[in-house]
A and B are shown apart, each in its own frame.
Chain A
């Protein structure tokens, strides 16, 4: 005799139990035969008396396996068996959960790798903080000066500051010149970060001192491999940067990219080389020149508030010692993710939204799988009822779906982590290249792993909860009456499923609205006018300092370059400026005094400015509201002049005509010769702010941007421009040769990331919701064939029937959309600054999302409705 369970009896104890029960049956059979029954009828009645063998076995094991763990193992095995018997269900459920868990794990990884532990290879990032300057009356964080840095370092017992300033240069090795990015750092950089060079050493304390006295550099592993072919005898060799031969003293370990979120740096030089790398402006002895983007390593045993208190006290002393430069200035320690100096800040809102979206996606996936489990638990209602009747504890029954979902979630967690691993570099792909090697990787460490497992457990509970509650509420009497032959759209037991579907639809709708709002923002950004010309303006970075030009040569070079550029056919205007609008480098700024503006006692008004060449405004396409633009005569020998913008006039001249009036910038008097129309300077989303321009010749920079306003499409002048630049200087490589349109587009990278994430997740959510809806409607149809047949027999037309079924599904979808809309109205505000030119409650977006949702619902209901229409009344009523 073969018993249905014998295939699965793996353990000896299970086999023994089988033997025991088998012997029981056997003896009962023999007794009956001895009592005169025929062998067949004896076997049958013995089994009837015995009851359901599998259930007896299950409960005996339950009674025996008093150890909880053993019980759990039984349940897990049981769960695995059930899944193996329904592979389609298992695959679908695991896939859904994998999407949900994978999305969360990926976002956790990004948050860890970009915000919380952003610097690969840097030790103990939990004790590393950003060091920023503050100035009274300004909400913005500031960079700090080297003398301040040195003084703050001297008074630090609880903290050790680290100085850094990102820079770039043209690197010539052999006959190949290329742009590379790196940073100027304090000597303790590598030691304090806990980064041990692969070869050689970091910097030594005396390499901080002496103006341009220590041309030494540590290069990245990548640069070492790429440009020096991994030369093991690299130490002591030199590479030329900014015209100066630097001795290579170390090679950074593989995977260390520096300490600037987003970019992979290629070299480091000590602060003594600052002047060489910063356009030949010597800042190391000037307390008023602020340029350092710092970090602080809080020493073991000290807390952040203690370190903050100590550094604040030190800053206070500097205030009283050097009131001219330091009045109202403080120092602030910030968590790395709040560092004002790199891309982390730009990605923070995006990642926050990504996290919200991932959680919503997980909820949708859980609702879907919960739904699938519910269908199965209805199918197993009879079995459950019997188990209950013979005395299974309600708790044990409720535990079963939980264990089943645990098994599902375990598979999904593995899949999800794999997906997160694949996706860890995905964000970089969404950000347009900037001519800098990017590093924006997610990080899957123990903390991310723990959080992902936590999410999986949460998913388990969410998924298993509904069927578990159902199992607890199992109604013996009701369930034993066979429950087929329901009516579409009725029946108490459909409520939890319908509820789940409504929840799914509403959550998907929420994501759709979010995606729609961001898509519209992207379009608005694309169409927006930044206040300068974009389509016909070509720009290129020209770094003369990097090419080794001194000031007189560079000035001459700039003039020649402009002349030659203007001579290129198709070029209408050409101009230079130090900073490119919407670029990643920061404008200079100066403290402003005017007769008309009286600052508050603790306020030191500071305004940013750009250094521009003659004909900058006509080239960049910034109209002048009054006065003139700069001319050749506004050079170093002439009196200082400036063009101010409209917000500047409104604030510092009280809106009066400023032409030929003066203001003081850092104490220097400057005469206003023109008023420029308001434009945007750093990104499309900024509020209008005061700004001014000074002639490049009066505030010289050897690192500039070239602009060409063209009559023909800008791309057509590219070859001629490259030729002209090469002809001027063979060592010069223009960086980032792009149109201003492209430059503006790049500044919308956070929106692009957010919109891509939301669109992808929204699409997946829509699909999941449609699957859920399809499941509910088709289940309802299959459960109510009799009713449908009856309706047909009573004269309902087939289309009539189809409409009946469709309306059931659409009603659920509509309820979900209403609920989702209510949630969306409250939640879309969270998109915050990512929205541009679109209200968070844009009716067009809401309506479109609703239409998409209903279309998906329609598609999901169509198949079951069509099946309902084709019901054969005779078959249905006979069955």
Chain B
């Protein structure tokens, strides 16, 4: 089976999900890339480890779409860091992404429930 197609669809799914997660994290307050990975990791109890190779493309993509904005700041230990914050458009996007996720989750759970009923 050609690997290209399989990975392409996997990326689609990841992207959508990752965007949602990033936006949600920034809802709690502005943060830099490293901070976002650490927060997600902590909140999910180490279950979610975000690849840098996915995170930074996602951040820059969201920035390009205007969902988040970035500025350079100096961190508490005098490190120059790029801090992202949610924009108004980002809040809106988060809302719609959340409801889409909810729809998806609902749909999947309905299907899973139906499967359970028909099981012998």
Assembly CA distance A183 to B77 (angstroms):
92
* Cβ–Cβ < 8 Å partners of A476 in chain B: 3, 7
Contacts of A60 in B (CB 8 A): 56-57, 59-60
Assess the A23–B57 pair: CB atoms within 8 A: no
Closest B residue to A478 using CB positions: B3
| Central interface residue in B57, B61, B64, by most chain A CB within 10 Å | B57
Q: Do residues A23 and B32 form an inter-chain contact, with CB atoms below 8 A?
A: yes
Chain B contacts of A27 at CB under 8 A? 32, 34-35, 75, 79, 81
- Say whether A196 faces chain B, with CB atoms less than 8 Å apart: no
**A19 near B34: Cβ-Cβ < 8 Å:** no
Q: Does B93 make an interface contact (CB < 8 A)?
A: no
Q: How far, in angstroms, from A62 to B61 measured CA to CA in the complex?
A: 9
Q: Could you tell me the distance between the alpha carbons of A28 and B7 in the complex, rounded to whole angstroms?
A: 28
A388's closest neighbor in chain B, by CB?
A: B7
Chain B: CB-nearest residue to A476: B3
Cβ of B51 under 8 Å from chain A:
yes
Q: Are the C-beta atoms of A56 and B63 separated by less than 8 Å?
A: no
Measured between beta carbons, the chain B residues less than 8 angstroms from A391 are: 7, 10-11, 14, 53-54, 57
- The reply on A379 being an interface residue by CB < 8 A is no
Is A64 touching B32 in the complex (CB atoms < 8 A)? no
The proximity string for A residues 44-78 relative to B, scoring 1 for CB distances below 8 Å and 0 otherwise, is 00000011100110011111101000000000000
Chain A residue contacts of B8, Cβ below 8 A: 393-394
CA distance A27 to B78 in the complex (A): 11
A394 vs B64: C-alpha distance in the bound complex, in angstroms?
Answer: 22
**Residue B30 is within 8 A (CB to CB) of chain A in the complex:** no
Looking at A20, A51, A393, A476, the one whose CB has the most chain B CB atoms below 10 A away is A20
Q: Does A286 contact B (CB under 8 A)?
A: no
**Interface residue B4 (Cβ < 8 Å from any Cβ of A):** yes
Do the beta carbons of B4 and A62 come within 8 Å of each other?
Answer: no
| A26 in contact with B11 (CB, 8 Å) | no
- CB of B91 within 8 Å of the partner chain: no
Q: Are A56 and B56 in contact (CB under 8 A)?
A: yes
A66 with B64: CB separation less than 8 A: yes
Name the CB-closest residue of B to A13: B60
Q: Cβ of A625 < 8 Å from any Cβ of B?
A: no
Q: Which of A3-11, A144-152, A333-341, A467-475 participates in binding chain B?
A: A467-475
Chain A residues within an 8 Å CB radius of B33: 20, 24
Does A285 count as interface, using CB distance less than 8 angstroms?
Answer: no
Q: Does B98 contact A (CB under 8 A)?
A: no
B79 neighbours in A (Cβ, 8 Å): 23, 26-27
Is the pair A474, B4 in contact by a Cβ cutoff of 8 Å?
Answer: yes
Given A51-B51, A472-B2, A474-B3, A62 contacting B57 (CB threshold 8 A): yes
B40 within 8 A of A: no
Q: Is there contact, CB below 8 Å, between A28 and B34?
A: yes
Instruction: Point out the residue from A28, A388, A390, A393 that lies within 8 Å of B51, measured CB to CB.
Output: A390
A477 touches B53 (CB 8 A): no
B67 CB to nearest A CB, Å: 13
Alpha-carbon gap, A393 to B5, bound state (A): 9
Bound: A217/B3 CA distance, A: 79
- Residues from chain A with a CB closer than 8 A to the CB of B4 are 388, 394, 397, 472-474
Q: B114 — which chain A residues lie within 8 A by C-beta?
A: none
Q: A64-B64, A66-B64, A393-B8 are in contact. Are A19 and B53 (CB under 8 A)?
A: no
Please determine whether A23 and B61 come into contact, CB atoms closer than 8 angstroms.
no
**Chain A nearest CB, measured from B49 CB (Å):** 9
Chain B residues with CB under 8 Å of chain A are: 2-5, 7-8, 10-11, 14, 32-35, 38, 51-54, 56-61, 63-64, 72, 75, 77, 79-82
Additional pairs, 11, CB under 8 Å, beyond known A24-B52, A62-B57: A20-B56, A20-B82, A21-B52, A23-B79, A60-B56, A60-B60, A64-B60, A390-B53, A391-B57, A393-B8, A476-B3
